[in-house]
């Protein structure tokens, strides 16, 4: 059975795997340590699906105790749906995919909140908000382009000791036109 790219990406475990590898390379052992709540067999099955689906690639191999250990990375540009791919998805599928996206985001937040002191939330960089904005189509396109460019710049930062990892989520939802 061949899965669509959207089905590959918008599964809770696979979404976490892609997020975990974002901007870095890891072995299955490292991924298992980072996602200790996921059974090893389940983790390996989803890594295989992402590899077969062209989302992950093997970036290195080395022999460890007689077995080949692979290091994986995310194929550049593969972790996002293109405009054509978005158009090929039904409204019902979009609702299902968005629900998966939102649930994964809630899970990320819950894991952070459970391991951190609420008194440190602001100083550690936690923020979330919702804003309503009014834009013409041209202004929206320009705004989204600016965001994509800005996020792209910081996504190019390589992991370093002085850098902390953050999850950045963004949603733009057109609303009914009411005047």
Q: Three-state SS for 56?
A: strand
pLDDT of residue 2: 60
What domains lie within the chain, and their CATH numbers?
5-123 (1.10.10.10)
pLDDT of residue 23: 80
Contact indicator for 14, 53 with CB cutoff of 8 Å: no
Phi, psi of 132 (to 5 degrees): -100, 130
Contact indicator for 11, 4 with CB cutoff of 8 Å: no
Alpha carbon 178 to its chain's center: 33
Mean confidence (pLDDT) of the chain: 89
pTM of the model: 0.73
Tens of pLDDT, residue by residue over 17-61, are: 998 888 889 999 999 999 999 999 999 999 999 999 999 999 999
């Amino acid at each position: 059975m061949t899965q669509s790219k959207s089905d590959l990406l918008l599964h809770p475990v696979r979404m976490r795997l892609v997020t975990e590898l974002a901007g870095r390379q890891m072995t299955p052992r490292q991924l298992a340590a980072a996602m200790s709540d996921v059974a090893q067999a389940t983790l390996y099955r989803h890594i295989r699906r992402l590899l077969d689906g062209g989302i992950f690639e093997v970036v290195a191999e080395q022999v460890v105790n007689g077995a080949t250990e692979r290091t994986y990375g995310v194929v550049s540009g593969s972790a996002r749906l293109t405009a054509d791919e978005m158009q090929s998805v039904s409204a019902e599928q979009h609702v299902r995919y968005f629900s998966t996206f939102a649930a994964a985001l809630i899970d990320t937040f819950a894991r952070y909140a459970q391991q951190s002191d609420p008194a440190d939330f602001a100083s550690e960089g936690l923020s979330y908000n919702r804003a309503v904005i009014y834009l013409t189509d041209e202004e929206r396109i320009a705004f989204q382009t600016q965001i994509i460019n800005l996020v792209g710049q910081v996504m190019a930062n390589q992991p370093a000791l002085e850098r902390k990892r953050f999850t950045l989520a963004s949603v733009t939802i057109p609303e009914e036109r009411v005047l």
